[in-house]
Chains A and B, each alone.
Chain A
Amino acid sequence: MFKIDLKISSVSVESIFKNAVLFKDSHLDQVAQKSLETLSAFGLKPTQIASRAGDQIYNYDLSFPLFNGAGTFRISAEKSEVTFLNATTEKDLEIVLQCVSRIYEHVPMPPCNTSSISANAQVVFALPKEGSDFLDSHVDSSKQIGWGGVLAYVICPNWTPEVRLVIDKSMVYQDGLFLTWSTTHLGNNISLPTLNAAGKAFVDAIEKFGLTFSKSHGHE
């Protein structure tokens, strides 16, 4: 196994509603109130919650930032999306998962068919020599392939849907990797155990390609 260290990562959850919701049925005031109740502990202030009435039919949204803009939540007529950028440590990721799960558990949302859970990470190899070995193993000079990379749909134990995994060269860290994961979850009951299970599946997915985080992720 090649040991890797997390440098920076992002997490995103998107839920597409079963039916587009008219502005008059959106209850944005309740969404705002519950969001504030749930996330004031995470620093959300009332004036940070912004709604846009648009044409007051389907063209509207409500959004707010968290942690100086590292996180954003947005709900529109068709979907809700939570995105966190710039998580650099396990502690950061723990807080991110707490935030996401609380939004999904407490903020009223219309029913949806599936939610998409995705994450990406810039990682470096714990041992630079191992990094060169891993990167070299994906070069095929005979076919003029400078670097092959990985695109795979992985089946993981304890997580039923496939995990789409992309392993790319990092543009930011020399001899680092850019990892992208995405998977789906039925409905929008995104709890903390669900997110932890997805995270475990993401870790399992890269292990199938010989990569493992040098520390355990998701728990202290």
Chain B
Amino acid sequence: MVMSSILSNPPRCGDIDQPAKIQRQSNMDPSMLDTQYFFFGSHGISGLFGIITDDRSASLPSHLRRRIDELSSLSSNWDGEGAKKIKTNVISDVVEALKCLMQLEGNFREPFLAPTFDGFVQIEWHGDKRSLEIEAVETGWLLVGTMATAGGERQYFSADCGISNFERLGRFYYWFIGTEMLWPSL
């Protein structure tokens, strides 16, 4: 479409007579004139990102994949109260976290994935004694753990974690499944 528009509106003589100008526009962005047609006719960066995320989620259990697809397809105001649409990068971060957690030793327990009002996703595990909630936010991961004590009281813990610090994220998962006894941030 753009190519045909370029062909029907070729650069004007004035432009061609100004090599410095041509050089500058093409120097600032070398592929702008050469490759934009490919991307216009293709998926663009966000389209490619969606395909990449979809591709990377292929190794997740089918139940989680379906849930990821559901979350991806939520539109703005999905709750009827103005909730934000979940951005692709948030979905992508959740997929990466789940893939890394699945590779940890021990049985992987499938979490529940819940959208949040702000357009993020919460990954939740609930056990008899312990629960773990990991929320993907702009700055990384926010974690909240709860544990029932022998006396029946409920203890709450919280921590944060860098977006790609999956090793640390794994320690919190180990805490949930009981391999790690103490809340890792202590």
Q: Which residues of A contact B (CB under 8 A)?
A: 8, 10, 37-38, 40-43, 67-71, 84-89, 91-92, 94-96, 98, 102, 106, 120, 122, 146, 168-169, 171-172, 174, 178, 180, 192, 220
CB atoms of A95 and B21 under 8 A apart: no
Say which size band chain B's interface belongs to.
Answer: 35 or more
In Å, the complex CA distance between A99 and B33 comes to 24
A194 to chain B, nearest CB (A): 13
Stretch at the interface among B22-30, B125-133, B146-154: B22-30
Q: Which residues from chain B contact A92 at a C-beta distance below 8 Å?
A: 44-46
Q: Which residues of B contact A (CB under 8 A)?
A: 6, 9, 11, 14-15, 21-22, 25, 28-33, 35-36, 39-40, 42, 44-46, 48-49, 52-53, 56, 76, 84-85, 87-89, 92-93, 95-96, 138, 162-164, 166
- Binding site secondary structure of chain B: helix
CB atoms of A41 and B45 under 8 A apart: no
CB atoms of B28 and A85 under 8 A apart: no
The chain A residue with its CB closest to the CB of B93 is A41
Q: Which of B30, B33, B46, B138 has the most CB of A within 10 A?
A: B46
CB atoms of A67 and B49 under 8 A apart: yes
In Å, the complex CA distance between A104 and B76 comes to 30
B90 to chain A, nearest CB (A): 10
The chain B residue with its CB closest to the CB of A118 is B28
Cβ 8 A contact of B85, one of A95, A171, A220: A220
